[in-house]
Each structure stands twice: as structure tokens, then as C-alpha cells.
Structure 1
Amino acid sequence: MNIDLDAKTRLLAGQDMWTLPDAPELGLRSIVMSDGPIGVRGVEWSSADPSIALPSPTALAATWDVALLRRAGALLAQEARRKGVHVLLAPTVNLQRSPLGGRHFECFSEDPLLSGLLAAGYVRGVQGGGVAVTVKHFVANDFETERMTADVVVSERALRELYLRPFEIVVREAGPWGVMASYNSVNGTTMSENDLLINGVLRGEWGFDGFVVSDWFGARDTVGAARGGLDVAMPGPDTVYGPALAQAVRDGHLVEDVVDAHVRRVIDLARRTGATTDAPAPRAHEEIDGIGLARELAARSFTLLSNDGILPLARDAKIALIGGLATDARVMGGGSAQVFPAHVVSPLDGLTAAGLDVAYERGADPSVRLPAARFPLHAQARDAGGGLLGEVDLPDGELRWIGQLPAGIAFDALHTVTVEGAFVPETGGTHRLEVQGLGRFRLEVDGEVLFDGVIEPESDDVFAAFMFPPPRTVPVEVEAGREVAVRLVHTMPDGPAGPVPAVSFTLAHREPTAPEDELMERAVAAASAADVAVVVVGTSGEVESEGFDRTSLRLPGRQDELVARVAAANPRTIAVINAGSPVELPWRGDVAALLLTWFPGQEGGHALADVLLGDREPGGRLPTTWPAELADCPVSDVTPVDGVLRYDEGVFVGYPAWDRAGTEPAFAFGSGLGYTTWAYEHAGYADGELTVRVRNTGDRPGREVVQAYLAPAEPGPDRPARRLAGFAVAEAGPGEDATVVIAIPRRAAEVWADDGWRLIPGDYRLDTGHSIDDLRLSTPLAF
């Protein structure tokens, strides 16, 4: 390798938050990485360069459609190419072990097979567009509490059958070019240094030939990481690689051959993604309609959990649309999954655009925080002498400069960031403005200072304090039709900047609202006067986000009361649930229909109108079990004790655990309704394949997810009663039949033993049907 040791080790360390350095002597250009998984944010954590925002991964998983996820991946590759990104930091295939996991909206499912097959489709789509993925977080990073330091103690069998399984499926079926090592340890060894799992299992057993990157700030020890198989330490420039790695070789702690192996994998990455100086011109790709696909994905993911016949709605129905989330739409989860779409279609926007007769009432909010100001704003960065360093237009009041500041702004010279703009209120009275950020701020309205002070963190959790700082709210009396000028000045703190340059705060705004009790009464009155009430409720960023786990499955605020009172006032009430993972629904039996929209992405409002009207069928099926109450969950603990989180439940996670416990959930794994009905007419097994014929017995075209579960005749106390063995999507018109073929691999009947994978011979059944609690056909077979 014709470069010296310093150049080699420099290539393995981030040069900043998102990129690796170039290496002209090797013909390598700088490799650019970006967060996903629902979009491609690029190198700026900012709305300056908008991104398409697809539905959340739990929503994508609810489609149970591998081909559809491949299309989603192809769109993300198109977005990455547009932004000059070579590596997408996605998908996440950690399991939804407990519903309290704060980041589960970014994962696919509680089931390893479903997670792995869907992720493989996603990966094929992304990499088919010439962009690398990093399948993450390898491995057992299924919680947020102490995620950077906790040690997961898990049996080898559970590790193999559950937590490693989706990674293995993706590696074997889709050949990913990257994997991200997780923060946590597994059985005593931190994952960024885990030779047994990275070099032994991932590379040795599965034949993975891509690169392994640390989670950001997840590499701790130079020699341990290099020997453990970590190729790239991110971010930079301060990492355990670079000069520290070169010195470790010079000091005799590592042989240079180890460094060379890491460098070769980075060179392979550059060649695969076209980040070389001699790369051929990129091949042409068919242009994908991102907005159209986002809308289709959302509708296909919407999961109809109950319906007394009210859906689809008549177009002339008089609708009362109720809920804070009906206007302040939450379309994605928080943290690194955040992107900045050019627009967001709220439920109110979508129903109005569809020409429906809609009367809106707020009713209740999921959060005490105000939404980001939606009037045009302009940001200016200045040095201590008042000199202008740079400026940028903002589409709303959220400013996130993390890792890389807008062009021309030097962080070490930055002293103040000023955000200013103006709005013309349609409604006079008491508006509210809010500052959400840490540090010193001065808020002025029409030249009058309304807040001038320092906002201190209220949490010891660094991520939570940064992403969800305590707000400061001020009332503002304004006149309708008269322009209001707003100016917010943030002064940078003295002292060291920390590991990553960052400026992060939000100017929020809300028009006058009535007191909570009055909002509730108005919502009930509107529901009483309407043909149909549609109530949109869900979670907020304070209870469901990266960086912390959930403490409850209850809807925040007075949303449960809102649904219960609206349903009492109008029995034709449709509850729309906007959440990334399970919530308790104590009123679920009192509403006419229950529609789960997950975090639906930027086109969620249009998709909602499509589904409510029947222009599209709700295509979703639950990828995770939804409990009636948290107390019913057989596995819920996500809190380490003395730095250790024990997965003592072994292989009994998700629906196998519910089976063993004998407790009935609110909604079972795989469940969901469409707008037609299906008969399961025949199932036959031969030569490793299950052939199933279904018939659409309704009067509308439809889509059915055919699910096959393998059940041993004698499961025994240490073996699940059944496990998903395969699935397929069937589509047919009214009265028509469709036949699907589902591969049933030998692995479905194998368990992990001390000596490796072992077939358990004997009699089995393939139970096939609509969901795990609605199985229609049983097919005997033997292994």
C-alpha cells in the first residue's frame, strides 16, 4: 500500500462530523455519511437543504412488503446522490424487545425474521442506487437508558436466534456494504471492540465483506477497537484512530497489517460508492416521485385495528376533526432520525385538500411545548465584534446546526446567532412565543425585550437536555392584520465547544387558544354536531424519542379524556393514533374505528384522506404486539441495574412471550383490517415451500398479508409455541383468488445449541392466516 502509516490511520478517522478525509495518493475522494432512516439529511442538521421524509420504520414494517421497502430504499439512494452522500446510516434492525424502548419507532419489529427480510429489501434498494448502508446497531442495542455504557447479559441462544438474526439475514440476502457497531457492551465486551462478534461471527461465519463504523463517539480504546474489527471511528477529528492509531503501531501495541486490513475495507467502500477519482460516470437511474411514494407508503402502512363499518367514509359526511396533532402534525421520531422536509401535510391539510366538509377543534394537546414558528425567518451569525460570519433563511423557527455550520461560518469565531422575522396575525389577542434551548437568549417583539436570561438544563441526560431543553414562554398581545416583528438572539457560551460544534434552539409560536377546559367542551360540542368525529391523538417528542426510554404507555396530556368524551358525544367517532410504537388505548372499545397511522412522514395528511375515503385501502398489519396495559407485557424492563441489563427472558420476546404468559393483548402481532374480506382456501407444503390460495370475498379490490407460523408438535418449556416462518402479499379483485408461494427454510426448525445450529427433528404444523390470532389453515410437515 503506497501510503505511509499516518496517511493510513488518518483515513480511518472522521475528519469532521460526517466525512472521512480524501486520500489523493490512493485516488480516494472524501466519503460523506448521513443519517437516515426515513430520509437523507445530509451534512447539515438544518432545514436549509430539505429532504423527503418517508414514514417511520415501524410504519414501513407495517406494510409487510419487502418489494415496497426496496422501492423506499431506491428513493433514499436518489436523495443521497442528490446530496452527495455516499453512506446512509440506516437501517436499524434492533428488536422491539420492550414497548418502553424510546427509539423503537426507528426499528422494524419484535420479530427477527420480519425485521431481517424487510431490512434486506431496504438495503437492496439503497445499494442498488450506488449508496452504501450501515445496518445498525450491532448488536442488542434495544434500549436507550445508559445505552452508551450498559452491558447486556444475554444467553448465546437468545443472541443467535433473536438479536443477531436480523443482521444475519441482511448480510446473507442483501450483502450490505456497512454495519454500525452499537454503544453498549454484550456479555462484558463493548461492541466497538468485540472481536468475537465482529470478526468471528459477522465476518467469519457470515462472510460480511463491508466496513464497520462506530456509532458516533462509540469508539473508546484505540488498540481494542482495531483488534476488535472496527474499521472507522466517527466523528472526528478527535477520535481513538488517526494519530493515536499510528502511535499504537509505533509503540508495538499493534502490527501494521491490522491497519492495512481496515484501510482496504475503506478503499472497497469508496469504490463501491463511486468515491474515487477514477470512478466511471454514475449510471442513469429512473427518477422516482418522492412525494408520491411517501404518500403511497403512508397509506400502505396505516393499520386499521377496528371498524364497525364506518369506514370508508361518504364524501359528503360532515366531519369534526379534533386534536392538537391534527394541525401540529408529528410525522417522524426525534433524534438522529430527524430530517427536514420542504413541507408537511397535516391531517387538517389533507382532509381540506380532499374537499371534505371539516370543522376543526383543538380539544387537547400531546405536549405543553409550542410548535416551531411557521412564519419565514432569517438567521445571522456574528462574531464578538458584530461582524457578519454568515446568514441563512429558515422555513420555520427550528435551528439545528450540529457538526457542520452553514457555509462560511467559523464556529470558533461565532459569538451570537440572531433569528428574526415577522408575521401578520389573522387572529388578534394573546399569542404565545417560546424559546426552546440552552444558554443565554434575548427575545424581542416589536423592539420590546420580553425575555432576557439563561436557560439551564433540567436533566442529567445530555441528549435529552440538548434535544428537549426546558422552554421559556411569554404572552404577546397583538392586533389582527398588523405585522409583528420578532427577534431572538442567542449568545454562545464561553469555554470549550465540546466534541462537536453545535447551535441548537427553537423559536416557537402559537396563536390564541382558549383554556383547556373550554377547548375540551368545544371539541365535544363539535363532535355532537357532526356526522362523524375524527380525533387525532398520539405521542410527543418528550415521551418518544432517541436518547431516553419511555416510562409509560399512556397518551400524554388529556388526550385519553378527549377521545372518551368525544366518543360519548358521537358514537360515530374514528380515533387516529399517531405514535411510533405501542400506546395504551383504554377507550378502544368505545370508538367506531381505530386507525393507527404511526409517524406517517411528510404526506401523512393526504394519505389519511385517501384511506378515510377509501381511495386507498389501509394496508398495515402490526409488526409488534400492542398491550392493553403496560402491566400485561411479559417483557418490559429497559433499565440497567449497576450498569447491567439482563435479558433473562431468553428467547421469549414479543408474541412468543405473550403465548407463554397466556395473556391476551389489545391487538395481536400481525393484525389489521382492510376494506374487504378474505377466505383461505388451500395451503400445501412441498420441497421447502408453502403454497397458499386465498380469495377476496368482498366487493372491493384488496391486499392481504398471508402469514405462516411454524409450530412444533411438542414445543416444550424452553421453545416458543410458534414463530413466524414466512409471509407474502396477495392482491385480488372482488371474487378473485390469488396464490402466493412462501419459502420455509430449514432454519425455521433449528435452534442454537452449544455446537451451533441444530435441527430439531419431528412433526410440525404450518399455521397460515391473517394474523397470529386469526389462523385459518393448518398444514402438517416433518423435518
Structure 2
Amino acid sequence: MKYPNIINKLSLEQKAMLMSGKNTWETWTFEEEGVPSIFLADGPHGIRKQLGSADHLGLNESIQATAFPTAATLANSWDVDLIERVGEALGREAVELGVNVLLGPGMNIKRNPMGGRNFEYFSEDPILTGELASAMIKGIQSNGIAASPKHYAVNSQELRRMSVDSVVDERTLREIYLQGFEIAVETSQPKFLMTSYNPVNGVYANEHEHLLQDILYGEWGYKGAVVTDWGGSNDHVEGVRQGSHLEMPATGRPGALELVEAVQTGRLDESLLDQRVDELLDVLLQIQIPNPGKDSLEEATKKTHHQIAYQAAQESIVLLKNTNQALPLSGKESVAFIGDFLYEARYQGAGSSTVNPTQLDNLIDLKEQYNFSEVQHTRGYRRDGKEDPGLLNEAIDLSKKVDKVVIFMGLTEISESEGIDRTHIRLEKNQLDLVKAIRSVNEHVVIVLSGGSVVELPFADDVDAIIHSYLSGQAGARAILDILTGRCNPSGKLNETYPLTYSDVPNEKYFPGLELTAEYRDGLYVGYRYYDKVEAPVRYPFGHGLSYTRFAYGGLTVEGHRVQVTVSNTGDLAGSEVVQVYVQKASEYVFRPVKELVAFAKVHLEAGESKVVNLELSKHAFEFFNPQNNQWEVEAGAYDILVGASSRDIRLEETVELEGIDAKGLYHQTQFETYFTGKVKEVSAEDFEALLGRPIPESHWDKKAPLTHNDSISQLYYAKSPIGRLVYKVITALIERSNKKGKPNLNLYFNYNMTFRAIQKMTLGMVNHAMVDDILYIVNGHFFSGVGRLVKNYFLNQKVNKAGESND
């Protein structure tokens, strides 16, 4: 142990208390014994430190902070240096506001475009995710505080996120869902890591021996601390045993007494508890902030960081289409700006990452600073999706009078939020009707999209140009105008594939998991790995993005894990290109995607300039995870190194021969035909069981069985008690009402998906385990006796808490 002098001063109860929060955001401090407190705050794209009463959902107002572009936006930059600078700025603001641990970045793989939290995550690809997350972590931690990448692991849906079991085979787990975390842990050494709510293959992530002991601490050599998601602890004792250090938020003295009792009864060895305290202290003492935090940022910080947010937005906007050089706007033509998003931008998502911006640029106000000969504007549609013939007709009339029309549209607030998955990937009908109507009276239409997730774009072939700003943060408006007018040459590339329709998505039939499980039957074939394997048409491929200039590739050389290529700007404007390197291997014995990203680099070139770009391939570039040997291995044979501008725009190719294992007999083509062909839209139970190597677990609730601690509030619709069924009806009615208003109610979403055990975990010690038992007894049909037990245990729990207060 590093800190025996401190640990030996602590009582058993004090050590147990350190394994949980003191309140919603802070940990316990024992000053006389030498234990400092820390403050944790949300912050994937901006600090959310609340004023007054704190809550984990962002319901209450927070201190102003810079709202940077979201992870889904930043990922389109493919620029590790830029993202490290954003991380440095985030860390600087955290220090100024007294935040020791920044809860981010979000790293989950965007398995399906309907994932409600996709706007908070980087990519469908683990290499892009891992490299960008690593850069952000380095930036944050350069300020002496901690980043906490999340959510570890296999967390791909919001529906019943606290209870649904992610059923995934070991190879897919390693190659897709853990590889990004592996890169981040090994290259940036985050000081905290947050576990996910969900079970993985039947075991909750926060107490998962394989994920924590075998992989995180064992194979990757992790040296930091592990924190639960808020309310994400299941068995606190087992979590501590397997390597979790901090259960958040506070569970009060009752939570600490769970560990005390476990030690006293022999379930948990006190020496292991001491080890966890020692490990946590090692992090706490490293991330102390010299000066107490303030309630506001320095004015100089606000100004400097707004500029960084602006630069990040510029680099992240993607030019999807540009027919006949419709963009940039010349300034000579008359232009109409149309769209509700013109007046009120979508610049961030909803949920625990919501930021109170230091300032918010506005397109209407800024357009006067650009050299348009004439710009008129109108709203065109209602944000809530309701039809408004008056607004539509105004837009049509205006469109007849101008040379070009720019329509600002995209996903509304209700479309993407923490706590709820999307129900489709379409834009609102009134927005689509607007595009069609305007296109009928004006041939020159430019679309500016906003939103953090994939959408269907049925009008793509009918308009001249499309730019996608994603959720570009508080300075995004100016960046959008820069791209439209050519002050900035677009350089963003898509971090995810845009399918033609949702029916093309490989896991549409397996997403989301509706009851007990989420089955990852699609295996390795996520995003472009699927579309390119089966040669399915897509709207825009992974890595796609246009420029106002042109780039040529040449001079490819490959030596081991090093690739060198010469990129030239053959156009008339300075610009930046993202060089993407993929590996391809044909094999009779190991099924694979047709190509996989293994390296990338963003390079800036003046007009006519050429540069030699050196790229280092990822650690596992030529490897696959062999579940039989439980290790990464290279299959002997030929590998194609593909270099290009997207997954479907390959410019150069080189073949190398590698030594490795003879994989003959590892996978039999007849048994794994679905996975060899990649046609995973229909995977039989037999095929999935072959991939898992075990029977598929039960996926449906037993509606005749009593509800338990790990069932969710959403299951109250079949509760035996009419009180329970009434609660379900009230919650769902309130959710429906809030949805109609177009504003997500995060508290309701959280409660709907919350497990009964989380009632204990989220109430700061006001409810203990016994009281949850009593609540379950009530909803399972024993109202009067259950209420009597609940009242009795309430007062007993109050007595325990008061005894703890008197000892503080």
C-alpha cells in the first residue's frame, strides 16, 4: 500500500464511506486523517456544475461554461490535435470552477442510428473512437485533474439501460466494443473510468470480473479509479471486490454499512477494502485543485474558449454534397435563408451533458457581417412538426424571388436525448414538405442540417448542396456561415455511415433490446463494416466529406506498422484532407469485415502543396481476437493496405505478406456462413448460439413472476398491485404529454427506465435495501402489510442516518 499512514487512521466505517459519494457530486473528506474530497461534474462537451440544488439530469440551472461541439460533431474533424486542445480547454474550465473529475468523454460505439445518446459518442468505429477519446483525455488531464471516459462497456441503448443485458460474443466484445477503451486506457491513462448501467453477458458492468479484473486491470494495466454511473451500482460489495472504487451518488450511511457488514461477516476481506481505499487515495491526492473553485469563469477564459469552440466547429462541419459548385455562395446572387433553426439553433443535445453556454452565436445576427448582396429570411416551418400553411406559403413566395435558397433544418430537441432512444431516423414531415415545395419553384437549393445523429435524406438527389453542422456548439453559427461563404474550406468527414433508409441498418431487428436482453447478433458488422461487406448502397459512406479544393494521393509505402503516403492539393484553395488507412484480408478460415480502419491523419495543404504523411497503424491492425485462445493473433497470409478519402473512396493499395497462425479449422464456413458473408440482417438463433459458444439467455420477462430489485419501473404495467399499474400509467401519460410539447422530460425518462434497486442508490441514503424490498412487496400485491413494513423500516433507516450524522 502507498498510504498506510492514512488508512490506519480510518475506522472501518470511514473506509466504507469512502467507497460512496457524500452527496450528488462530492466525495467524503476526513481532514484529520488526511483524506481530501473531490467534486465530479458532467462535461463531455462543456462543464455542467449546478447552482443551488444539484441533480444528475441537468434539470436545475448550471454555471455558465463553454458549450463546445458534441463528440459526434468533433469526431467529424478526425483531428486529434484539435480535440486535445478542446480537452485542454475543458480541463481549464474545470479547474476554474473547482471540478476535480470531468465525466467524459463518452466512448460507446454507435451501433445503431436510433441510439438516443449517439450525439454524445464519437463514432461507429473503435479506432476513431479510441484515438479521439485518448486525445481529449490527455487534454483534460494536462490541467492536473481527471477525465472519466464512459460508459464501460457495451452500452448501446437508452431503453431500460439499467437492466437490459447486453449479450455479445467475446470476439465482437474485444474488437468492436472494448478496443476504443483499450486505446484510451493504454495511451492516455485516464485517472477515472465510469462503468455502464447494464449487465454484460449476465453480470452488471460495475461488478464484472472479466471486464474489470481480467481486462481493465489485468491486460491493460489500468492504474486509475472506477466510478459507477449515477445509480448504476447493483451489488456494492461485489463491485468493491471486483475493482470499483466509488458508488455515486451518495447512498448514505446505509450504503456504507453494507460494506461494514460484509467485512464483519467475512464476505469481504478488510485487506481488500484497504486496497481499494489506497487505490482511490492515490488518485484523489493527484487531482487536488490548489485554489477553491469559483462560481463563474474568468472573462478571458470565456473569450479564448469561445474562439476554440468556433475553430472546432469549423473543422467539424461536413460538406456532404456540392453539385456544380453551388457552394460557396458568391455574394453576388440573391439568397433566401429559410428555417426555424435559423432563428434558434440546435447546438447541443439533451440530458446530463446540457451546458449553459457563456454566449450563443446567432445566424440572424451574424449574417450581416458577411458579404451577401441580398438576404431575406423567413421561418418556413414549425419546430414542433405541426403543419402551418401560412409559414409554408411565405417560404414559397420568397423562394420565387431569389437566385438561391438555403434551408436550415434537422433534428429537433425531442428527437435525441439521454434516457430515450429514437423511434425512427426521419426528419419531420413538415421540413421534408418544405424542401419539396421550395424545390418546385427554385432549382438552386442548399440544405444546412443540424443534429447529432444519422437521418434519412430522401431529398439528397434533388438539391444542389448539403452541409451538415451536427451539433456544433455555442460558436457554430459563425462556422456555418464561414462554410457557406467560403471563408473556411470544409474539411469534416463523417464518423458514421448514412444509410438510405433505416431498413438498411444491419441490426434493425435486434435494436433495441425490449425486455431482458439486447442481443448483439450482428457481431462485428457495425456500420461500414456491414455496408461495405455486403456492398449495400448507402447515402454517404463512412469517412465521406467534400472540400472546395481537390486532393491527389501517391507514393504509398508500407513497412511493418508504418505507412507513408504523399498527398497533394491540386486545386486553387488551401484545404485539409483526412487520409484514411484500412486493412483488408481475404480468408477462408476467419470471417472478417471487408475492410477496417487502422490509421488516419488530417493534413493541411496550401494550393499546389504536397506533403509526405506518415501514419502508424493501430496496435491490432493485422490481428483478430481468437476466442479459443483468448488472445489477439495474426493469421498468416496476404493483407491489403488501402489508403483513401473514405471507406468507399480508396485511392492507393499495397499488399504485404505476414507470418502468423494457421487458422484452418477455427471457424467452419458452413456453421458460420452468416458471418462469413456478412448478411447479418437475419441471424438465426442457431447461428448466434454458435457465435456465442453457449445458449442464448431468455429474452422475455416472466410476467407471472414477482418484480425484483433489478426489474425496471417500466415493468409496472404488469404489476400485481393496482397501485403499481397506476404509477405506470401516470408516468407514461406524463412522458407522452412532454413529448407532444417537443421538450424531453429527462426526469420521467430516467424514472421510467430506472430499476427498483436504483431507488436506494439515487436517494442519498433516504431509502435503504430493506425499504426497496418493502416497495416491491407492495407492487407485488401486498399493499397493507407492505406499507406497514415500509413505514417501520423508514424510521429505522432514519435512526441509522441520524446516528451517522452525530458521528461525523
Change (3 A) 1:660 1:588: same
Over residues 456-491 of structure 1, what are the superposed CA-to-partner deviations in whole Å (9 max), with x where a residue is unaligned?
Answer: xxxxxxxxxxxxxxxxxxxxxxxxxxxxxxxxxxxx
**Residues 330-729 of structure 1 mapped to structure 2, 5 A cutoff:** 330-354=346-370, 356=372, 357-367=374-384, 516-636=388-508, 637-714=510-587, 718-729=591-602
Aligned to 1:36: 43
Distance 2:73 2:176 in 1: 21
- How much is the aligned-residue C-alpha RMSD, in angstroms? 2.0
**Structure with a larger share of its residues in strand:** 1
User: What letter is aligned with 1:36?
Assistant: G
Give CA deviations for 1:610-645 in whole Å, capped at 9, x if unaligned: 111111111210010001100111223322243111
Question: Given the alignment, which residue of 598, 609, 629 partners 1:736?
Answer: 609
Query: How far is the alpha carbon of 1:4 from its aligned partner?
Result: 1.1
**Distance between the aligned counterparts of 1:25 and 1:626, measured in 2?**
57
CA deviation vs aligned residue, 1:667-703 (integer Å, no higher than 9, x gap):
0000000110011122111142100101101000010
CA contact (8 A) 2:499 2:505 kept: yes
Q: Report if the CA contact (8 A) 1:351-1:605 is conserved.
A: no
Are 2:202 and 1:192 aligned?
A: no
Unaligned runs of 5+ in 1: 279-283, 370-514
Match of residue 71 from structure 1? 85
Which string of whole-angstrom CA distances, capped at 9 and with x for unpartnered residues, describes residues 280-305 of structure 1?
Answer: xxxx9x96810101111111100001
The aligned amino acid for 1:554 is: R
Q: Does the 8 Å contact 1:155/1:650 carry over to 2?
A: yes
Q: Which moved more, 1:556-565 or 1:107-116?
A: 556-565
**632-641 vs 77-86, greater mean Cα deviation:** 632-641
Mapped pair 1:778 → 2:657:
no
| Partner residue in 2 for 1:396 | none
Corresponding letter in the other structure for 1:631:
S
SS at match of 2:64: coil
In structure 2, what is the Cα distance between the partners aligned to 1:246 and 1:646?
A: 37
CA contact (8 A) 1:93 1:135 kept: yes
- C-alpha distance in 1, partners of 2:129/2:588? 23
Letter in 2 for 1:736: E
Write the deviation string for residues 47-72 of structure 1: whole angstroms up to 9, x where unpaired: 45211000111110000011111001
- Asked if the contact 1:312–1:613 (Cα under 8 Å) also holds between the matched residues in 2, the reply is yes
Q: Does 1:292 align with 2:313?
A: no
Give the drift of 1:713.
3.7
Pair 1:243–1:625, CA change in 2 (3 A): same
- How far apart, in 2, do the equivalents of 1:132 and 1:163 lie? 23
Maintained 8 Å contact 2:36/2:285: no
Give the CA deviation at 1:731.
1.4
Partners of 1:128 and 1:48 lie apart in 2 by: 24
What's the secondary structure of 1:152's corresponding residue?
A: strand
Deviation, structure 1 residue 216: 0.4
Look up the equivalent residue of 1:712 and give its one-letter code: K
SS at match of 2:364: helix
Verify the 8 A CA contact 2:165 2:518 in the aligned structure 1: yes
Q: Deviations over 1:255-301 (max 9, x none)?
A: 112211221222122222125899xxxxx9x9681010111111110
Kindly provide the amino acid, as one letter, of the partner of residue 20 in structure 2.
A
> Does the CA contact (< 8 Å) of 1:28 and 1:277 recur in 2?
no
* Contact 2:50-2:63 at 8 Å conserved across structures: no
Deviations 1:65-88 (A, max 9, x none): 111110010000011011100000
Instruction: Kindly state the Cα deviation for residue 715 of structure 1 after the two structures are TM-superposed.
Output: 6.7
Aligned partner of 2:643 in structure 1 is 768
Deviations 1:354-391 (A, max 9, x none): 3543211111134259xxxxxxxxxxxxxxxxxxxxxx
Amino acid at match of 1:615: R
1:748 is paired with a residue whose SS is coil
Is this contact kept in 1: 2:553–2:567, CA < 8 A? yes
Per the alignment, residue 121 of structure 1 pairs with 135
Corresponding letter in the other structure for 1:630:
Y
What is the deviation of 1:241? Answer: 3.8
Question: Which residue number in structure 2 is paired with residue 24 of structure 1?
Answer: 31
Deviation of 1:237 after TM superposition, in Å, equals 4.0
- Paired residue secondary structure (2:478): helix
Q: Match for residue 187 of structure 2?
A: 173
- Match of 1:661, SS state, is coil
Q: Is residue 527–residue 569 contact of structure 1 (8 Å, CA) maintained in 2?
A: yes
Q: Gapped runs of 5+ residues in structure 2?
A: 1-6, 52-57, 293-297, 659-808
For 2:412 and 2:254, locate their aligned partners in 1 and report how far apart those are by CA, in whole Å. 36
Deviation at 1:30, TM superposition (A): 1.9
SS at match of 2:565: strand
Q: Could you say which structure has the higher helix fraction?
A: 2
CA-CA distance at 1:521 after TM superposition: 1.0
Q: Percent identity?
A: 35
Amino acid at match of 2:470: W
User: Structure 1 residues 536, 717: closer, same or farther in 2, change over 3 A?
Assistant: farther
In the alignment, the residues of structure 1 paired with residue 476 and residue 181 of structure 2 have an alpha-carbon distance, to the nearest angstrom, of 30
Partner amino acid, structure 2, of 1:679: A
CA deviation after TM superposition for structure 1 residue 564, in Å: 1.9
Partner Cα distance (1:614, 1:720) in 2: 38
Question: Alignment partner of 1:575: what SS?
Answer: strand
Structure 1 residue 568, shift from structure 2 partner: 2.5
**What SS class does the counterpart of residue 731 from structure 1 fall into?**
strand
Contact 2:86–2:308 (CA<8 Å) still a contact in 1? yes
Contact 1:715 1:721 in 2 (8 A): no
Q: Decide whether aligned partners of structure 1 residues 608 and 716 sit closer, same or farther in structure 2, where only a CA change above 3 A counts.
A: farther
Counterpart contact for 1:350–1:607, Cα < 8 Å: no
Q: For residue 527 of structure 1, report the CA deviation from its aligned partner.
A: 1.7
Over 3 Å counting, the alpha-carbon distance change for 1:560 and 1:240 in structure 2 is: farther
Match of 1:230 in 2: 244
Name the CA distance, whole Å, in 2 between partners of 1:760 and 1:746.
15
| Distance in 1 between residues matched to 2:478 and 2:35, nearest whole Å | 44
CA distance in 2, matches of 1:25, 1:265: 19
Count of residues in correspondence between the two structures: 633
How far apart are 1:324 and its partner, in Å?
0.9
Task: State the SS of the aligned residue for 1:141.
Answer: coil
Which residue does 1:310 correspond to in 2? Answer: 326
Taking a change above 3 Å as real, the CA distance of residues 603 and 97 of structure 1, as seen in their structure-2 partners, is same
TM-score normalised over the length of structure 2: 0.76
CA displacement 1:424-460 (0-9 Å, x = unmatched): xxxxxxxxxxxxxxxxxxxxxxxxxxxxxxxxxxxxx
- Kept in 1, the 8 Å contact 2:38–2:288? The answer is no
Q: Which residue of 2 aligns with 1:485?
A: none
How far 1:238 sits from its partner (Å)?
4.0
Query: Structure 2: how far apart are the matches of 1:266 and 1:563?
Result: 56
1:131 aligns with 2:145: yes
Rounded Cα–Cα distance in structure 1 between residues aligned with 2:33 and 2:284: 10
Instruction: Give the whole-Å Cα distance in 1 for the aligned partners of 2:365 and 2:225.
Output: 44
- Secondary structure of the residue aligned to 2:395 is helix
